[in-house]
Amino acid sequence: MPSDQEDQNSLDLQQYSLIFKRRWLVIATVAGSVFGLSGLAAFRQKPIYEAEGKLLFNKTDRVSSLTSPSASVGELSGVTQLSSPLDTEAEVIRSNPIVEKTITSLKLTDKQGTPLEIDEFLTKLKVKSVKGTDILSISYNSRDPQEAADVVNSLMRYYLENNISVNQTQATAAKRFLSKQLPEIEGRVVRAEAGLRRFKEENKVVALDQEATTGVERLTALSDQITQAQSNLVDAETRSQLLQRQLKLNSQQAVDMGNLSQSKAVQQVLTEYQQVENELAVAQTRYTNEHPQIANLMAKAAALRKQLEVRVDENVGKQPVSEQNLQMGELKQSLTAQLVQSDVERSALANRVTVLKNAYKLSQERLSVLPLLQQRQQQLERQLQVARTTYEELLKRSQEVEIVVNQNVGNARVVSAALLPNKAISPKIAFKLALGGFLGILLGVGIALILEAMDQSLKTLEQAQQLFGYPLLNTIPYFGQKAKGGKESLVELPVRDNPHSLASSAFEMLQTNLDFSISDKPLKIIAVVSSTPGEGRSFVAANLAVAKAHMGRRVLLIDADMRHSYQQEIWKLSNPIGLSNVLVGQAEFKSTTQEVLVNLDVLTVGTIPPNPAALLNSQRMASLIQEAARDYDCVIIDTPALSLFGDALILSKMADGILLVVRPGVLDSTVAKNTKTMLEQSRSHVLGMVVNAVTAVSGYSYYSSKEYYQNNGNGNREMKLPKIRVS
């Protein structure tokens, strides 16, 4: 595959080389014309001078973004990420007002003396950024160097003035805007502060974050205290229940009994009552119930009992109290005291649990509203912060605007003024000549390729082989043959006149190849045909006849082209009678032929008849050819062109084979296709084709005839075969 590709590339290069050789005159003419016109234009052009100045831009312009609190002050930037600030300023420099002011101030005019148009001015103006810097380069072209420098300096001056004016205008507008906005923003700050203060007062808010933390800790502590108090309450209740079961008293009774046992009045009456009861019991052992002492003791006991009841009622109310409970021992008194104390402790713990639960509930309710309060507080604080930030930023901007309004500066300055140019930038003669030469060659090659594409003629041997597909019997080198008006003018018959020439060798090789083209029967009758006039058909037939005669064969050359006879001119023969006269019976065949060389006779066309096709297609013509084949070793028939007449096809049926003559540069591809179709449809036996008038341009290159034969050391001449190179 790589080898095939290399061969293909080599063939392509050779093909282009052949095209350039064929069209060298066109290429040279076009290239020379363009080069000459380029040189003439370059030398006649008046010199053009270019002046250049440079502007340096600051990062800030002191005005942009003054009314935007969120942006950096005066940031010189584009509206979008794709825009370039320097490119924007370049377009400002090229704007109509600045350009028009420059034209007016300098009184710039065109060639007719009228004021220079803005569009024409802009074609001479170049504004571009210096790569990697914040500098704009401004240049202007003019035939007057002073004008070029003045234009650049004036343009930069007017741009700077416009820049300062725009900055001050923007600053004044910004000042008015800020003066209007400041009171409104200040009022917004005051309202935001009042709203935050009212919120804190209404919701008793000091520090919500700290309060939330403390509230969570307090809930945890209250939960622990409630748990501990509930545990102590259970212990107190258990202890009270045990004491009540032991004393068989409830808590109130225990308190009452404790009060009675500790009351001196009750205990004193009780002691006296018990003494009287004792005395009564002793007296009843001695006396009867009617005894005055017993009656007295009973009355005393009743009075004391009555008094005891009064004293008990005074302490415990109208509650029945057994006598044994009025006076208790130390153990019972201790248990009673414990019961009372336990009951008091239980009540206290129950109250504590209730209080702790209420406190827990209140703390929990407070914590539940803290997020909402915190959200509301954050909103109010955010509003206040935004209002304060806006107010502070606007106040700062107002002070900056005040400074800008009072300043007379812009965001650019001149770093390099335009100087008077002393060297013209145009015309660049060497460059224009080189460009003219290049374009001329390019245009010449293009025209050559176009002409080549429009030219339908066969140009190379390869094209002829590809189009016809017949065996190539040989090629005939160019030997001075010229095709004009369908006829051929010959310098000489090379086989006869120059036997050592390349053309002579080519015809000798052709007749040899013809002998080998048919192996089953001898080749005696050969019809030499061509597609169109001017391909050298008669030239090939004549030289082939000479070559065969030199081989010792008796050859008859018949000129059957009754349309444009040419053999009599080649051989310089008179043509009083010939083939046509034989066919109509006016002459005999053997007496009509003319000997031109040893073993070579020529039968000229004779009188031109009005109906050549009828004569050639007659039985007499067939009989004549058969008679010639008996008398001669080889009969060569020169026929008319196939594209014009059908005579050649008629004669091809009488011949053993057809030799097709093809000449590159003369034969058109369309005509060649028609010829191929006619030969196929007529089923003619085509022996092969011979390519005539081959040059290096048409596909082959040969050594000169001087190199064909060289002397050896003994003075003899030895033959060298020609070297053939496929182009």
| Per-residue pLDDT tens digits for 236-288 | 778 777 766 666 665 555 555 555 565 666 666 667 777 777 777 777 777 77
The total of other beta-carbon atoms located within 10 Å of residue 456's CB is 12
Averaged pLDDT for residues 366-372: 69
Q: Are 525 and 625 in contact (CB under 8 A)?
A: yes
* pLDDT, position 462: 79
Q: Most confidently modeled of 43-52, 390-399, 592-601, 638-647?
A: 592-601
Q: Which two tokens stand for residue 610?
A: 């009005």
Q: What is the pLDDT of residues 66-100, one digit of tens each?
A: 444 433 434 455 556 566 788 888 888 889 998 88
Please report whether residue 569 resides in a domain: yes
Q: How far, in Å, CA of 147 to CA of 142, rounded?
A: 7
The total of other beta-carbon atoms located within 10 Å of residue 8's CB is 10
The total of other beta-carbon atoms located within 10 Å of residue 147's CB is 16
Q: Are 432 and 42 in contact (CB under 8 A)?
A: yes
* pLDDT, position 81: 59
* pLDDT, position 725: 35
The pairing of strands 657-662 and 686-694 is: parallel
Element (H, E) at 443: helix 429-454
Residue 489 has pLDDT above 60, yes or no: no
Least confident of 278-282, 407-411, 432-436, 532-536: 407-411
The total of other beta-carbon atoms located within 10 Å of residue 412's CB is 22
Q: Which of 165, 301, 690 is nearest to 475 (CA)?
A: 690
Averaged pLDDT for residues 610-617: 88
The mean pLDDT value of the chain amounts to: 76
Q: What is the pLDDT of residues 634-643, one digit of tens each?
A: 999 999 998 8
Would you call 205 helix, strand, or coil by DSSP? Answer: coil
Please report whether residue 337 resides in a domain: no
Residues 544 and 629 grouped into a single domain: yes
Please report whether residue 160 resides in a domain: no
Q: How far, in Å, CA of 702 to CA of 477, rounded?
A: 8
Please report whether residue 345 resides in a domain: no
The pairing of strands 49-57 and 135-142 is: antiparallel
Q: Which two tokens stand for residue 127?
A: 């504004």
Q: Are 663 and 535 in contact (CB under 8 A)?
A: yes
Q: Most confidently modeled of 36-45, 234-243, 364-373, 481-490?
A: 234-243
Q: Are 49 and 142 in contact (CB under 8 A)?
A: yes
Residues 606 and 475 grouped into a single domain: yes
Q: Are 565 and 559 in contact (CB under 8 A)?
A: yes
Would you call 531 helix, strand, or coil by DSSP? Answer: coil
Residues 445 and 479 grouped into a single domain: no
Q: CA geometry: angle at 685 spanning 683 and 689, to 5°?
A: 120
Please report whether residue 577 resides in a domain: yes
Residues 447 and 460 grouped into a single domain: no
Domain count, the chain: 2
* pLDDT, position 710: 42
Cis peptide leading into residue 610 (ω within 30°):
no
Q: Which two tokens stand for residue 539?
A: 């030239």
Greater pLDDT, 383 or 313:
383
Q: What is the DSSP letter of 601?
A: E
Residues 634 and 555 grouped into a single domain: yes
* pLDDT, position 44: 66
Q: Give me the residue label for tokens 């000229």.
A: 604
- Above pLDDT 70, what percent of the chain? 72
Q: Are 681 and 675 in contact (CB under 8 A)?
A: no
Greater pLDDT, 196 or 641:
641
Residue 664 has pLDDT above 80, yes or no: yes
Q: Assign 338 a pLDDT band (cuts: 50, 70, 90).
A: low
Q: What is the pLDDT of residues 423-439, one digit of tens each?
A: 877 666 676 677 777 78
Strand-by-strand arrangement of the 686-694 sheet: 472-477, 686-694, 657-662, 525-530, 634-638, 555-559, 600-603, 594-597
Residue 593 has pLDDT above 90, yes or no: yes
Q: What is the DSSP letter of 111?
A: T
Q: Which two tokens stand for residue 299?
A: 């009355």
Q: What is the pLDDT of residues 166-191, one digit of tens each?
A: 777 777 787 788 778 788 888 888 88
Q: How far, in Å, CA of 273 to CA of 279, rounded?
A: 10
Residues 670 and 681 grouped into a single domain: yes
Residues 637 and 505 grouped into a single domain: yes
Please report whether residue 649 resides in a domain: yes
Of 422, 453, 484, the last residue of a domain is: 453
The sign of the CA dihedral 400, 404, 409, 413 is positive
Residues 6 or more apart whose CB falls under 8 angstroms from that of 158 comprise 98, 101, 102, 105
Residues 448 and 579 grouped into a single domain: no
Least confident of 211-215, 487-491, 525-529, 570-574: 487-491
* pLDDT, position 526: 94
Q: Give me the residue label for tokens 């048919």.
A: 518
Averaged pLDDT for residues 480-501: 64
Residue 12 has pLDDT above 80, yes or no: no
Whole-model pTM?
Answer: 0.45
Q: What is the CATH number of the domain that holds 493?
A: 3.40.50.300
Q: How far, in Å, CA of 261 to CA of 307, rounded?
A: 16
Averaged pLDDT for residues 370-394: 78
Residue 51 pairs in a beta bridge with: 140
Q: Most confidently modeled of 45-59, 76-90, 200-214, 403-417?
A: 45-59
Note down the domain range covering 34. 1-42+437-453
Q: What is the pLDDT of residues 286-308, one digit of tens each?
A: 777 777 877 787 777 778 777 76
Least confident of 196-205, 247-256, 388-397: 247-256
Q: CA geometry: angle at 711 spanning 707 and 717, to 5°?
A: 95
Q: Are 346 and 233 in contact (CB under 8 A)?
A: yes
Residues 581 and 446 grouped into a single domain: no
Q: Assign 707 a pLDDT band (cuts: 50, 70, 90).
A: very low
Q: Give me the residue label for tokens 């003075």.
A: 715
Q: Assign 486 a pLDDT band (cuts: 50, 70, 90).
A: very low
Dihedral in degrees, nearest 10, Cα atoms 104, 108, 114, 118: -70
Residues 613 and 535 grouped into a single domain: yes
Please report whether residue 538 resides in a domain: yes
Q: Which of 643, 658, 645 is nearest to 688 (CA)?
A: 658
Q: Assign 546 a pLDDT band (cuts: 50, 70, 90).
A: very high
Residues 486 and 445 grouped into a single domain: no
Residues 445 and 563 grouped into a single domain: no
Task: Kindly report the length of the chain.
Answer: 727
Residue 313 has pLDDT above 60, yes or no: yes
Would you call 634 helix, strand, or coil by DSSP? Answer: strand
Please report whether residue 610 resides in a domain: yes
Q: Are 279 and 297 in contact (CB under 8 A)?
A: yes
Q: Assign 699 a pLDDT band (cuts: 50, 70, 90).
A: very low
